[in-house]
């Protein structure tokens, strides 16, 4: 018979309960927030209703609000609140800050930093790296389907220094330089135990620039 010997299996309920995805584009049903929670929360045994209600209150979303009528930004905040409250061990967020204004982005960072449990892992796919650099502890840069760089933030800031200078002469022998407002943004080898904040956008540009001197420094 055609297809004999082929076996397919759908993911088990345990797996589906342990993973939650917030896509970049979505359409919520014409339900109230409370009705949505009644219908969907039971699929996640570890769902924390108190946490969800607290986050929705922080986001300014009432239980009686019709989800379909909310702005895109508010719909996304509802999705994020629900995702965190599921208790899923793996959260996958695609461009979570798209559609959020500046105060909402700050609110998002505060929510993730304060609400994520120690045994939860969040994977964020984004081009808006400046919105999220304070939340990330492992950087993975992809290009054309391949991994260009994968390294913990601690290793990156230990071995590289990120800074801005007014004149190129101040940067010594930088590994990567690009023009910035009022001077230049620089990545240099951290030979003096300097403390600097990771500039993910600058690192991304450097990793994809073809500069071969940075990547070997970050290898374990």
* Angle of the 49-58 helix axis to the 102-115 helix axis, nearest 10: 160
Instruction: Give per-residue pLDDT as tens, 6-50.
Output: 544 556 778 888 999 999 888 999 999 999 999 999 999 999 999
Q: Which of 88-92, 134-138, 145-149, 171-175 has the highest mean pLDDT?
A: 88-92
Nearest to 56 by CA among 80, 31, 38, 39: 80
51 sits in which H/E element: helix 49-58
Q: Measure the CA–CA gap between 99 and 50, rounded to whole angstroms.
A: 26
Whether the per-residue pLDDT at 1 is higher than 50: the answer is: no
- For residue 38, give every residue at least 6 positions away whose Cβ sits within 8 Å of its Cβ, in sequence order, or none: none
Instruction: Give per-residue pLDDT as tens, 83-142.
Output: 999 999 999 999 888 888 888 888 888 888 888 888 888 888 877 777 777 778 888 888
Q: Measure the CA–CA gap between 174 and 176, rounded to whole angstroms.
A: 5
Nearest to 185 by CA among 194, 198, 193, 195: 198
Whether the per-residue pLDDT at 4 is higher than 60: the answer is: no
pLDDT for 36? 97
> Where does the chain hold its CATH 3.40.50.300 domain(s)?
13-136
10's tokens:
């759908």
Whole-structure pTM value: 0.72
| Annotation: CATH topology of 13-136 | Rossmann fold (3.40.50)
Q: What number is the average pLDDT over the span 177-201? A: 89
**Residue of higher predicted confidence among 213 and 28:** 28
């Amino acid at each position: 018979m055609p297809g004999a010997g082929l076996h397919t299996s759908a993911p088990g309920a345990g797996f589906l309960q342990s993973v939650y995805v917030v896509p970049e584009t979505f359409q919520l049903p014409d339900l109230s927030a409370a009705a949505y929670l009644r219908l969907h929360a039971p699929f996640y045994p570890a769902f924390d209703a108190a946490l969800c209600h607290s986050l929705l209150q922080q986001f300014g979303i009432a239980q009686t609000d019709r989800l379909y009528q909310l702005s895109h930004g508010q719909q996304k905040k509802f999705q994020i609140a629900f995702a965190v409250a599921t208790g899923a061990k793996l959260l996958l967020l695609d461009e979570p800050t798209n559609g959020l204004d500046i105060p909402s982005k700050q609110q998002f960072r505060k929510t993730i930093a304060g609400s994520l449990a120690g045994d939860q892992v969040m994977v964020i796919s984004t081009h808006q790296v400046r919105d999220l650099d304070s939340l990330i502890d492992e950087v993975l840069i992809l290009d054309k389907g391949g991994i260009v760089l994968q390294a913990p933030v601690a290793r990156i800031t230990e071995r590289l220094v990120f800074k801005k200078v007014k004149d190129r002469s101040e940067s010594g022998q930088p590994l990567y330089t690009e023009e910035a407002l009022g001077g230049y943004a620089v990545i240099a080898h951290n030979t003096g135990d300097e403390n600097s904040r990771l500039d993910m956008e600058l690192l991304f540009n450097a990793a994809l620039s073809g500069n071969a001197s940075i990547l070997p420094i970050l290898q374990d």
